[in-house]
Amino acid sequence: MKVSQEEATVNVSITNLDMNMVYRLGYTTLTTNSFSNGLPSMEATIDTMFSTFSGALQDTDTKATVNVAIPLTKVDNKWVIEVSDEVVNSVSDPFPPLIDNAGH
């Protein structure tokens, strides 16, 4: 951590779901089920995706950790996070690959 009177930088590790991996797991499960049992209903598809996502929350193999330096600035005697692409991406980065892959 680096601190001055008006600025600070905090180094943190943020662990989040690797949504790319979760997406692949769900897609693989749906594809396997489709070949085994024919096309699933919408309800079965939603159930499969929910089960995949729920399982991923418990599975450490579906987690990704990033290290990020978060800049802080003192405003009215309170430390405020300076929002930057690096900070936003460290929290939301798992989702853009999911969105990109869903369109292909």
Name which of 16, 93, 22 is nearest 51 in CA terms.
22
pLDDT on residue 97: 45
Strand 78-81 versus strand 63-75 pairing type: antiparallel
Residues of the chain with pLDDT under 50: 97-104
Question: pTM of the full predicted structure?
Answer: 0.56
